[in-house]
Structure 1
């Protein structure tokens, strides 16, 4: 894993955890799954619905978490029942 990939992974994990802490009671679980080709970062939270990204506004103070996760990840997605996976 290169330094850039490691930095991006750390940034994505931090943003997902911060998003769960800010908008719902908080994250319940962080999972990192590394294999030869990829690193999957999963944040589980108690929300019944997946997070909904809003239009990104670069001038806003908040609201960049999902945008950062989407742009720094090769693939991203969200699942209902309290799971967000990137």
Structure 2
């Protein structure tokens, strides 16, 4: 999940400013901050396409994800439940 968020920041948002990973209460929170104020867009998934699966995977494999603006850019975050 971190690799997908990092790749999206590099490919679509001018690069990574910060990566934060936190484990608490059985959850793993991953947050990537970039310099683009444009929020990520979940597009229609096209299984036969060579690329464009990043946010689809994030959406399907996390319990929650989203973005928040800040500092002239944004932070895209994802939350995953960890096995017990």
TM-score, length of structure 1 as denominator length: 0.80
More strand by share: 2
What secondary structure sits across from 2:64 in the alignment?
Answer: coil
More helix by share: 1
1:84 to 53, 76, 84: 76
CA RMSD of aligned residues (A): 1.1
CA distance in 1: counterparts of 2:46 and 2:68, whole angstroms: 24
Deviation string 1:33-77 (CA, Å, 9 cap, x unpaired) is: 101220100010001121111111111111111111111101111
* Segments ≥4 residues shifted beyond 4 Å: none
- Corresponding residue for residue 8 of structure 1: none
- Corresponding residue for residue 44 of structure 2: 55
Q: How many residues align?
A: 75
What secondary structure sits across from 2:20 in the alignment?
Answer: strand
TM-score, length of structure 2 as denominator length: 0.82
